[in-house]
Amino acid sequence: MPLILDGNRVRDDIQSELKPRVEALAALGAPPGLAVVLVGNNPASEIYVRNKIKACHNLGIYSESITPPGSISTEELIAIVGGLNARPDIDGILVQLPLPPQVDSKRILLGVAPAKDVDGFHPCNMGNLVAGLPGPRACTPAGILELLKRYRIPIAGKRAVVVGRSDIVGKPVAMLLLHEHATVTICHSKTADLSAVCREADILVAAMGRPAMITGEYIRPGATVIDVGTNRLDKREDVARIFRNSVEKLASYDKRGSVLVGDVHPLDVVEKSSAYTPVPGGVGPLTIAMLMANTVASAERRAGIC
Ligand code: NAP
């Protein structure tokens, strides 16, 4: 049986390590502070933000959510971000995406002070990542590296294939793997013979948003497979097909009306890989843990203790 890379366990370890650092900052009178800006009423975003605020609360990080209406203009949102940039009690600013169509998302992300950009999305921090300079790293990619390192999966000298080239997952995770001395290939929707390229991977990272697309024929036997995808199946026939009529999954669908699946086929990965991240419970929990880590590191820089 392959090793299951347990994101919940690693998240708990990361959070236990952060706790004394938060306490030390609080003892100096400079507790870390995170501001989350949530525009409008997107139910999925509301859940993400609630989980981030809850994680702050559990760790003793001060948090604040700012909830402007969905009709807000770019200028008004830039003014809110500017106000947070200027506040000494706020170490991290997170603008929850997606933003409404009338708001220029790129201008908003550029408006966040790079030192407070705990999402690691600002071009300055993307540049720091490419150059190997210190600065907040995008949370999901940073979480994937934590997972690989804590499970002692060798990276140096290995072939890594990343499927997906988004700014928030594919590109930064490829760069982090490169810095760890993997030989990295980045794939996307125009990659020719994708399954053959994926089969070269010792470490395969799937981040496309395509339910269970990475089937057994994409996986080299013994590879480590990291599944970033989070897809909700809301048709019973899809659940039956992908999970091959699993009684447990169909019962879960019947109860909840949907079932989560990653970008990797959940049964094939068990047959082919030597280690893999399950969905849920793999990469997902690490994203918030790394957001907390970035916020604490930002507060430590402000307090001059790192
Ligand atoms: P995205 O911005 O939509 O990017 C998807 C990437 O996948 C694009 O580069 C696209 O190629 C590529 N792609 C799409 N279909 C493909 C195909 N058939 N073959 C090869 N490549 C294909 O997505 P994202 O924001 O990176 O997110 C990816 C997945 O990760 C989603 O399921 C998302 O929900 C999940 N996610 C999870 C977490 C977490 O915390 N667990 C965090 C972030 C994202 P092109 O560039 O050519 O279009």
Task: DSSP for 175-237, please give it.
Answer: HHHHHTT-EEEEE-TT-TTHHHHHTT-SEEEE-S--TT-B-GGGS-TT-EEEE---EEE--HH
Q: Answer yes or no: is the C-beta of 207 below 6 A from any ligand 1 atom.
A: yes
User: What is the distance between the alpha carbons of residues 117 and 120, in angstroms, rounded to a whole number?
Assistant: 6
User: What is the distance between the alpha carbons of residues 37 and 85, in angstroms, rounded to a whole number?
Assistant: 13
Q: Answer yes or no: is the C-beta of 209 below 6 A from any ligand 1 atom.
A: yes
Q: Answer yes or no: is the C-beta of 232 below 6 A from any ligand 1 atom.
A: no
pLDDT attached to residue 6: 98
Q: What is the DSSP string of 133-161?
A: -SSPPPHHHHHHHHHHHHTT---TT-EEE
Query: Could you say which DSSP state residue 264 is in?
Result: B
Q: Answer yes or no: is the C-beta of 170 below 6 A from any ligand 1 atom.
A: yes
The residues, any chain, with a CB within 8 Å of residue 133's CB and separated by 6 or more, are 127
Q: Answer yes or no: is the C-beta of 189 below 6 A from any ligand 1 atom.
A: yes
Q: How far is the CA of 208 from the centre of ligand 1 (A)?
A: 3
- Whether 52 sits among the annotated catalytic residues: the reply is yes
- Whether 102 sits among the annotated catalytic residues: the reply is no
Please list the pLDDT of the chain residue by residue as tens digits (306 residues): 999 999 999 999 999 999 999 999 999 999 999 999 999 999 989 999 999 999 999 999 999 999 999 999 999 999 999 999 999 999 999 999 999 999 999 999 999 999 999 999 999 999 999 999 999 999 999 999 999 999 999 999 999 999 999 999 999 999 999 999 999 999 999 999 999 999 999 999 999 999 999 999 999 999 999 999 999 999 999 999 999 999 999 999 999 999 999 999 999 999 999 999 999 999 999 999 999 999 999 999 999 987
Residue 5's CB: how many other CB atoms inside 10 A?
26
Which residue is catalytic, options 52, 158, 249, 272?
Answer: 52
Q: How far is the CA of 279 from the centre of ligand 1 (A)?
A: 15
Nearest CA to ligand 1 atom 8: 164
- Whether 91 sits among the annotated catalytic residues: the reply is no
Q: How far is the CA of 207 from the centre of ligand 1 (A)?
A: 4
> How many helices and strands (H and E) does the chain possess?
12, 11
**If DSSP codes are grouped into helix, strand and coil, which group holds residue 171?**
helix
Q: Answer yes or no: is the C-beta of 212 below 6 A from any ligand 1 atom.
A: no
Q: How far is the CA of 166 from the centre of ligand 1 (A)?
A: 6
